[in-house]
């Protein structure tokens, strides 16, 4: 049956591209995806596939029950965009100022919708049940996965699979890990409250910029000097706000950034060391510091057997010429929550566009649309392999 499904996906590929380009022109930010959710619901309405809306917020969940008994497998696609101005010179450029699909979620949605349409044709031959998870708000914590799970989206599911169209990986390559695939991703903010004054009289002030700069430098030593070199972590300061005039010493400064890690022991260690550093620097400079640490998505940990099923499925897809078992990526992804609850796996589908090297979250981001058909075939291949799993 897989060959017939693959052929159906190929036949529906032009519509897949059409859907992706429509969504690319009409992006919506996380937690604001009202029209996108309606578009998805309308698609399933036309297919005659039962669906639920407002799952965990703006999520849409459709269910296709096969005529034959079998397991229930969920396939997930996210559909939110980013607050980025689209700078590509293409006919399908975003029509919404300052909002853009700069991570491929439009492609994920098109992939899953057309896969559902292809599978509907073979419902009489289908074993088990497919749950199509259309998830809102992946880009912005607390994300859409957790509330959808809490709303029962995968309660009856036996396994869950997902993919990301990865624009920095060559077309035709499938990447996956049999353990940790992506990092946990947290956020922190530090506000230094000093004492401002005239730039000519620094001795009468407590310079928040200098003190915050000390913090930036000290925080970098957590990874280089306070963690086991065999452990993996990232501490990045991405924002530094202070001052409003060249000759005034700022009384306050704000820095914020991200922490990435692969296991919770390292996460705990980083938090402990941050607290020590902040307390010490602020005490030494006789200022107050307000530290806020927000835990985000946990590490994404694939299940070994399900990851192996994805790899096996990839061997039967002619568009895949390389299957690579990879080391963890330090980017974060809330698909991690599904894998805490159920067996499953997440993988990258190579989608690099020839001559186009812009990464994810870049204003000129784009991907090779042929990767969508490959992703659809791999997802349904994983579903089929799971049905056959003993």
Residue numbers annotated as active site: 80, 138
User: Which residues are CB-neighbours of 360 under 8 A, at least 6 positions away?
Assistant: 102, 103, 104, 167, 168
Backbone dihedral angles phi then psi of residue 172, each to the nearest 5 degrees:
95, -5
H/E stretch holding 174: strand 173-176
* Residues 389 and 309: beta-carbon distance below 8 Å: yes
Could you give the angle at the alpha carbon of 150 between the alpha carbons of 145 and 156, nearest 5°?
Answer: 95
Binding residues for Mn(2+): 103, 105, 139, 164, 361
Contact in structure between 170 and 353 (CB atoms under 8 Å): no
DSSP state at residue 100 = B
CB atoms within 10 A of CB 377: 26
- Name the phi and psi angles at 167, rounded to 5: -75, -10
Q: What secondary structure letter does DSSP report for 132?
A: E
Residue 228 CA to residue 157 CA, distance in Å, equals: 39
Cα torsion 18, 20, 25, 28: sign = positive
From the list 368, 369, 386, 379, the residue with the least C-alpha distance to 317 is 379
Dist. CA 128–CA 42, nearest whole Å: 24
Residues tagged in the binding site annotation:
103, 105, 139, 164, 361
Cα distance between residue 160 and residue 61, in whole Å: 13
* Cα distances (Å, whole numbers) of residue 217 to 38, 235, 276, 294, 332: 48, 11, 14, 21, 24
């Amino acid at each position: 049956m897989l060959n017939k499904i693959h052929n159906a996906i190929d036949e529906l590929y032009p519509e897949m591209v059409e859907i992706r380009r429509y969504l690319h022109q009409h992006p919506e930010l996380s937690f604001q995806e009202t029209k996108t959710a309606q578009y998805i619901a309308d698609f399933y309405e036309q297919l005659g596939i039962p669906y639920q809306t407002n799952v965990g917020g703006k999520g849409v969940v459709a269910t296709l029950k096969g005529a034959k008994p079998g397991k229930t497998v969920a396939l997930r696609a996210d559909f939110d965009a980013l607050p980025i101005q689209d700078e590509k010179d293409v006919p399908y450029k975003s029509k919404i100022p300052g909002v853009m699909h700069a991570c491929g979620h439009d492609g994920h949605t098109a992939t899953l919708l057309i896969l559902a349409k292809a599978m509907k044709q073979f419902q009489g031959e289908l074993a088990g049940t497919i749950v199509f998870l259309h998830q809102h708000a992946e880009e912005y914590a607390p994300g859409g996965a957790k509330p959808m799970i809490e709303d029962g989206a995968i309660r009856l599911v036996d396994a869950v699979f997902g993919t990301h169209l990865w624009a920095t990986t060559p077309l035709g390559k499938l990447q996956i890990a049999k353990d940790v695939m992506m990092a946990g991703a947290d956020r922190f903010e530090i506000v230094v409250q000093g004492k401002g004054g005239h730039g000519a009289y620094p001795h009468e002030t407590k310079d928040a910029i200098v003190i915050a700069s000390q913090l930036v430098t000290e925080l970098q030593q957590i990874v280089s000097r306070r963690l086991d070199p065999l452990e993996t972590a990232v501490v990045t300061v991405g924002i530094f706000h202070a001052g409003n005039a060249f000759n005034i010493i700022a009384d306050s400064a704000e820095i914020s950034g991200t922490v990435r890690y692969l296991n919770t022991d390292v996460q705990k260690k980083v938090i402990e060391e941050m607290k020590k550093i902040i307390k010490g620097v602020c005490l030494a400079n006789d200022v107050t510091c307000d530290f806020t640490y927000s835990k985000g998505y946990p590490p994404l940990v694939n299940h070994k057997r399900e990851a192996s099923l994805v790899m096996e499925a990839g061997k039967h897809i002619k568009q895949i010429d390389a299957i690579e078992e990879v080391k963890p990526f330090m980017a974060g992804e809330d698909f991690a929550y599904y894998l805490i609850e159920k067996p499953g796996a997440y993988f990258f589908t190579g989608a690099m566009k020839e001559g186009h090297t812009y990464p994810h979250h870049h204003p000129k981001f784009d991907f090779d649309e042929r990767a969508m058909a490959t992703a659809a075939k791999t997802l349904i291949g994983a579903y089929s392999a799971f049905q056959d799993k003993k």
